[in-house]
Amino acid sequence: MLPDPRHAPVYIGSEIYRGSTYGSTHPLAIPRVSTCTDLIRALRWLQGERFVAAPMASVAQIARFHTPEYIAALQRAEATQHADEQMRARHAIGVAGNPIYKEVFRRPATSAGGVMLACRMTAQGGIVHVPGGGTHHARADRAAGFCYLNDPVLGLLTWLDAGLDNLFYLDIDAHHGDGVQDAFADDPRVFTLSIHEAGRWPHTGLAEEEAACNLPVPEGFNDSEMRHLMQTVVLPLIRARRPQAIMLQCGADALQEDPLSRLSLSNNAHWEVVHAIRALAPALVVTGGGGYNPWSVGRCWAGVWAVLNDLPIPDRLDAAAEAVLRGLRFNREAGRNPPEHWFTTLRDAPREAPVREEIERLAAQSARMWAVSGRGTREDAA
Ligand SMILES: [Zn+2]
């Protein structure tokens, strides 16, 4: 019997992420979902009945978006642990940041199964957190940007197949949510909005694009600027569209300490977004996404679960939670001498700063383009 996410939020995880790595030199060498799960368990924030193990999506389920040839190639890559010419040239498997690793089919299939289950469970409403999901770059027939299967697309299709016809996809990963935008560019039932670093890979998601709302932000993007975009563009847009369901891709790579972007958010910004959109639709699914500093990711996503459940975040972690964070290893510069607060707290120091003129311009231009009032109101500032 699955728990009812309308009564209390449900957490979908899996042990497949524990010890799984893209290879020792890859940005996804690090543990992320297992850290988040261990943290919220150590904090006694997860009652047994609210945890659901993600099922692996079946080939037929994955084929709702991906091509049979690509799915077969991914399975073959896992079985042989070798990339042949077709895999590399046609499906981008084994090249360009998409390595062949031990669970290269089963792990993405589990993320897809988790997000699809989250959407099935919330078809009548409720909240599900599935931090293993959020692989927003994958294409129907090829891998892209560390993503093999596009679990957000598969989840949104699950909602559509359940009869929902007004969905909102919000993506706050540091990278443009290109795979999701392109999958639904011609489908008026799914509105996609991405906030991401300007000028960074995949170099799409310009503010002028008409297929979707895109808010490309400059280096140093801070908490105050995120709040400004939320109040002037994102929240008015969601309120105007009154979606039946919202999917939030809550990548953690826009955090200041992330090695792959140059944005400067604190995790307070992510939690404020989650809090602000929580009540704006009957159904909410929050996925993970990017995030390449193991402490930042674990602390951010554990806090997301706290916000979804109205749990107070302690100023200092107890010994059990601290032990989870002290147990992490990171073979980059930042891992050599991590600051003490990465072990002892969940909450970052806020990164408030004046809203720069270019952010105000971007907000005004987008509010005009998408015909929203562009006025922030006090209750948005949750
Ligand atoms: Zn990213």
pLDDT 10s per residue in the chain (382 long)? Answer: 899 999 999 999 999 999 899 988 899 989 999 999 999 999 999 988 999 999 999 999 999 999 999 999 999 999 999 999 999 999 999 998 999 999 999 999 999 999 999 999 999 999 999 999 999 999 999 999 999 999 999 999 999 999 999 999 999 999 999 999 999 999 999 999 999 999 999 999 999 999 999 999 999 999 999 999 999 999 999 999 999 999 999 999 999 999 999 999 999 999 999 999 999 999 999 999 999 999 999 999 999 999 999 999 999 999 999 999 999 999 888 788 899 999 999 999 999 999 999 999 999 999 999 988 644 443 444 3
Determine if the pTM surpasses 0.85: yes
pLDDT of residue 373: 65
> What is the 368 CA–ligand 1 centroid distance (Å)?
27
> What is the 119 CA–ligand 1 centroid distance (Å)?
22
> What is the 175 CA–ligand 1 centroid distance (Å)?
4
171, 177 in Cβ contact below 8 A? yes
220, 262 in Cβ contact below 8 A? yes
253, 123 in Cβ contact below 8 A? no
> What is the 253 CA–ligand 1 centroid distance (Å)?
6
Please give the Cα distance from 311 to 178 (Å, whole number): 33
Question: Which distant-in-sequence residues (6+ apart) come within 8 Å of 370 by Cβ?
Answer: 213, 233, 237
Helices H / strands E in the chain, number of each: 15, 8
> What is the 49 CA–ligand 1 centroid distance (Å)?
31
pLDDT of residue 381: 40
Active-site residue, selected from the candidate residues 91, 137, 175, 176: 137
Known catalytic residue at 137: yes
* Residues with a beta carbon under 5 angstroms from ion ligand 1: 173-175, 251, 253, 290
pLDDT of residue 351: 98
> What is the 3 CA–ligand 1 centroid distance (Å)?
31
